[in-house]
């Protein structure tokens, strides 16, 4: 993060820049390979309190049907059998707490809803950028991840799935957000 920006300057309302954001996941398959994927449709917002990060908040809504692993058969299976996107078209995250963990790192706790099941998670988040772009808009960048057990959200297909696909899935966030006027 540029040293010329103070945390106080971060205060304000932000929306995700979807052209420069990646919401993805990684899961082990057959305990030997990793399957990487991402969601292509989402929206999110945050209100940052630079001097008091604990007052900050964030929301994210992901279109579950936009899941892509670059393998059509697997994508169809994940959408229908695992995520049941017909009945549960969105995945949501709403923060409930933000705790500073270092100069530019945070523990962000919130409610993650998948398949209609809501569970609390805490993710590690790092502030990676804070600067004005060439158009004069103020942007912030965050990098975060959390490993969840998909079974806690009922994301399971059948008994064989438990052996072939690890229950642990890492959710990855590489976010750019633009401050609103």
Domain 7-179 has CATH 1.10.10.10: no
> 130: buried, middle or exposed (CB in 10 Å: 19+, 13-18, 0-12)?
buried
pTM of the predicted model as reported, rounded to 2 decimal places: 0.90
The 10 Å Cβ neighbour count of residue 161 is 16
- Give the C-alpha distances (Å, rounded to integers) separating 79 from 88, 92, 99, 172: 10, 16, 34, 18
pLDDT digit string, tens, across residues 39-96: 999 999 999 998 899 999 999 999 999 999 999 998 998 899 889 999 999 999 999 9
Confidence category of residue 158, pLDDT binned at 50, 70, 90: low
- The CA distance from 78 to 75, in Å, is 5
pLDDT digit string, tens, across residues 100-133: 999 899 999 999 999 999 999 999 999 999 999 9
Position 163 pLDDT exceeds 50: no
Residue 1 pLDDT: 45
């Amino acid at each position: 993060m540029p040293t010329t920006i103070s945390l106080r300057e971060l205060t304000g309302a932000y929306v995700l820049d979807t052209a420069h954001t990646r919401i993805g996941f990684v899961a082990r398959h057959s305990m030997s390979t990793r399957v990487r994927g991402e969601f292509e449709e989402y929206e999110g917002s945050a209100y940052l309190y630079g001097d008091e990060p604990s007052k900050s908040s964030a929301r994210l809504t992901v279109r579950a049907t936009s899941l892509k692993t670059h393998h059509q058969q697997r994508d169809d299976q994940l959408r229908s059998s695992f995520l049941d996107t017909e009945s549960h078209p969105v995945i949501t995250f709403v923060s409930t707490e933000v705790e500073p963990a270092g100069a530019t790192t945070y523990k962000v706790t919130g409610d993650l809803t998948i398949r209609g099941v809501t569970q609390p998670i805490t993710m590690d988040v790092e502030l990676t950028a804070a600067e004005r772009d060439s158009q004069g808009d103020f942007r912030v960048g965050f990098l975060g991840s959390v490993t969840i057990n998909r079974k806690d959200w009922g994301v399971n297909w059948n008994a064989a799935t438990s052996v072939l696909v690890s229950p642990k899935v890492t959710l990855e966030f590489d976010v750019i957000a633009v401050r609103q006027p």
